[in-house]
Homo-oligomer: A and B are copies of this chain.
Amino acid sequence: MTHRIALIPGDGIGIPVLEAAMRVAEKASPGLLVAESFPWSCDHYLQTGRMMPEDGIETLRGFDAIFLGAVGWPEKVPDAVSLHGLLLPIRKAFVQYANIRPHRLLPGVQGPLRKDAFDILCIRENTEGEYSGAGGRVHQGTGDEVAVETAIFTRTGVERILRFGFEQAMGRSKRLASVTKSNAQKYSMVFWDEVTRELAAEFPEVQVSHYHVDAIAARMVMAPETLDVVVASNLFGDILTDLGAAIQGGLGFAASANIDPTGTSPSMFEPVHGSAPDIAHLGTANPIAAMWSLVMMLEHLGEGETAARIIRAVEATTARGIGTVPGRDKTDEITAAVLSALEE
């Protein structure tokens, strides 16, 4: 059985890291993934005036999964344009409402914290909330200008991500941390808290903790070992998962899956890091986050055995100290080490 994958390398280091990960996939299981690559990116925008063609979403719909590198190159195209033209519409159009990001230290990686025993699974809402894109500006360019940005939370959106969080907690330690800022945001976040309490009644075995986003951010640094599954809104999840990436040694190690849990649409897998224009020419992009994202894609596609072999090869590589220090090793060296670990 093969799987049809849409590759969107995107911009900057998205391109080499995706290529590296696909070499690993091919080595681990030749022919398993049949990939088609799409050049949608900021360069594509400069050539065509669009980040992806008008029928881009329809094109992607036919694939079993999407594997994305990184999007954005602010010197070429403003981020607000490039992200709203490619990454964010895919997440929303395919109702990939669960953004899953695991945070733990790979063997051999020294994180910035003195503590190194933690294993956090962040579940981030991925389709609405603070990323709704609703808002506007009046009196633009004058002293009276006002800009508004409206976060929109629907019952459907909040309930499904919280339910997903509870289910993930059931499959792990049965501890769930729900993140809000309900002491300051009295509509959206109070609503989120209410739905959390309702679902808690449905999952009596799950021990739920309510944290304000500021407090849990501090906790991720002070006492990450006390957290397990964390469920948060789009924006709070965005911030906490970059923090998660930091404590796991940096963005070079942070993987993510944008899942449509209903299975109706293709899910998308991407490293958490951006396109990193400043280092894109150095050849030192760390492909490990992309490889780990590939592992999550293979698990999602039911290829757990291949996924397990790849994560073991990645761990064998970092355990040997390869790819563990940001910017030191070449993308190619790290990839070669993973490829050879796959043979062992």
- Chain A residues packing against B (C-beta within 8 Å): 72, 78-80, 82-84, 88, 110, 112-115, 130-131, 133-137, 139, 142-156, 181-191, 213-215, 217-219, 221-222, 235, 238-239, 241-243, 245-247, 250-251, 274
What's the nearest-Cβ distance from chain B to residue A184, in Å? 5
**Residues of B contacting A184 in the complex (Cβ-Cβ under 8 angstroms):** 80, 83, 88, 130-131, 235, 238
A interface secondary structure, majority: mixed
**Residues of B contacting A217 in the complex (Cβ-Cβ under 8 angstroms):** 217, 239, 242-243, 246
Say how many copies of this protein the assembly contains. Answer: 2
What's the nearest-Cβ distance from chain B to residue A240, in Å? 8
In the complex with contacts A143-B156, A221-B112, A245-B218, A185-B239 CB distance below 8 A: no
Instruction: Find out whether the CB atom of A135 lies under 8 angstroms from the CB atom of B186.
Output: yes
What's the nearest-Cβ distance from chain B to residue A216, in Å? 9
Instruction: Find out whether the CB atom of B239 lies under 8 angstroms from the CB atom of A149.
Output: no
- From the candidates B131, B143, B191, name the one contacting A155 in the complex (CB within 8 A): B143
- 12 A-B residue contacts at CB 8 Å? A80-B184, A142-B155, A143-B155, A144-B155, A146-B152, A147-B187, A181-B238, A214-B241, A215-B274, A217-B239, A219-B246, A221-B246
- Bound-state CA distance A243–B82 (Å) is 29
- Bound-state CA distance A122–B142 (Å) is 28
Instruction: Find out whether the CB atom of A150 lies under 8 angstroms from the CB atom of B150.
Output: yes
- Bound-state CA distance A112–B115 (Å) is 7
Quick one: which of A82, A83, A221 has the most chain B CB within 10 A?
A221
**Residues of B contacting A114 in the complex (Cβ-Cβ under 8 angstroms):** 110, 112-114
